Structure 1
Amino acid sequence: MPGEDTENQTVSETNVSEGHSSKKLLILIGALFTFLLIGGGIIAYVVLHNDDTSQTLPEETAKNDALTDIGALYPLDTFTVNVLSDDGREHYLKTQMNLELNTAEVNPEIDKKKAELRDIIIGILSSKSMEEVSTEVGKEHLKKEITDQINLRLAEAKIKNVYFTDFVEE
């Protein structure tokens, strides 16, 4: 049975060559899978990283523009008013501020209405409690209220912002 040996040898060689090709195929699939995982990770990082930067850049640009685009500042004299506390005790608030105008120059209307503007600010400050004005959020609300109330009484000039240059709570 000389043909059987040749046939068995051919079957063995086929099995060996199939074993090598299946090992090569598994290695190739593993390498491809690893490559896809690494590539996907890199793509995900780039996409997520770009989204984070694109969201913060406009905010930072707006802050920088706001700082460089300051209108004329109108300084006011010191305000000293009594304020109440939630515990019923009287305190005082001493503050000094500058009004930022929406123009590069001080409008004469501001000078003419200075007494009225001071009266508005004193009314607003004395209506607050110590707890309302002692936090950052409270100060921001105070600035907004002062800005809004003054702008209601101005015809030409408008207040853009209020800057506290001194703020003492006692």
Structure 2
Amino acid sequence: MAEEKKEEQNGEKEEQKSNSGNKLILIIIIVLLLLLLIIGGLVAYFLLADNTSQNETVQQSSDKKIEQKSSSVKKDTEALEIGPIYPLDPFTVNLKSTNNTRYLKCTINLEIDSPDTQPELDKIKPAVRDVVIRILSSKTTPEISTAKGKEKLKEELKKNINAILAKGEIKHVYFTAFVIQ
């Protein structure tokens, strides 16, 4: 029996040693994992912090460019904000020519300053059409075939139509169709 007790005590000591060895290995693994996490976090922080400072510099320069572009876009969108439109029926007129018979077929829309101008245009629509026909038929093909010529024509139409309006105003003239033949 004495021998059995000694064997049991030896067995218990070996189990305690193996349990304490297992616990020690488990503690070492946990400590190593924590160290790896801390080191990985620090490395990531420094890499991201370095990129962030570079990105901030790049971001600041791109922000300046974006501000410049947005200010020009604001100006462009202000110019593109179209008010009420008053459509006119299509026009077909003979162009001024010495040797060939040329004609122009176009559709014109007028941008008016306010919706209150529309009733006035309705009342004087024949006069507006007359002004447009007189101006269009006085033009030659070379005068209105370039972009610059079309812009001059728009300004002339706007000026002459505004001259016959009592209250409202034409802000812009738009050609929605323009064919010379």
* Structure 2 residue aligned with 1:152: 163
Which whole-Å CA distance do the structure 2 matches of 1:114 and 1:70 have between them?
21
* Structure 1 residue aligned with 2:78: 65
* Structure 2 residue aligned with 1:15: none
How far residue 88 of structure 1 moved from its aligned partner, in angstroms, is 2.8
How far residue 61 of structure 1 moved from its aligned partner, in angstroms, is 2.2
* Structure 1 residue aligned with 2:121: 110
**Structure 1 stretches of at least 4 aligned residues deviating more than 4 Å after TM superposition:** 56-59
Which whole-Å CA distance do the structure 1 matches of 2:147 and 2:100 have between them?
22
Contact map agreement 1:72 1:105 (CA 8 A) in 2: no
Aligned AA for 1:116?
A: A
Contact map agreement 2:110 2:174 (CA 8 A) in 1: yes
* Structure 2 residue aligned with 1:77: 89
Q: Residue 111 and residue 104 in structure 1: after superposition, are their counterparts in 2 closer, same or farther (change >3 A)?
A: closer
Of 122, 125, 128, 2:133 maps to 122
1:68-104 residue CA offsets vs partner (Å, 9 max, x unmatched): x21110110010100134x631200000111100114
Which whole-Å CA distance do the structure 2 matches of 1:105 and 1:153 have between them?
16
Aligned AA for 1:66?
A: A
* Structure 2 residue aligned with 1:88: 99
Q: Does 1:97 align with 2:142?
A: no
Long gaps (5+) in structure 1: 1-45
- Tell me the TM-score normalised to structure 1 length: 0.63
Identity of aligned residues (%): 45
Which whole-Å CA distance do the structure 2 matches of 1:156 and 1:135 have between them?
33
The count of corresponding residues between Structure 1 and Structure 2 is 121
1:19-76 residue CA offsets vs partner (Å, 9 max, x unmatched): xxxxxxxxxxxxxxxxxxxxxxxxxxx8xxx79x85x765432221121x21110110
SS at match of 2:95: strand
Which whole-Å CA distance do the structure 2 matches of 1:94 and 1:167 have between them?
6
Aligned AA for 2:77?
A: N
Contact map agreement 2:116 2:168 (CA 8 A) in 1: no
How far residue 107 of structure 1 moved from its aligned partner, in angstroms, is 2.8
Which whole-Å CA distance do the structure 2 matches of 1:114 and 1:59 have between them?
37
Which structure has the larger Rg over C-alpha atoms? 2
- Tell me the TM-score normalised to structure 2 length: 0.59
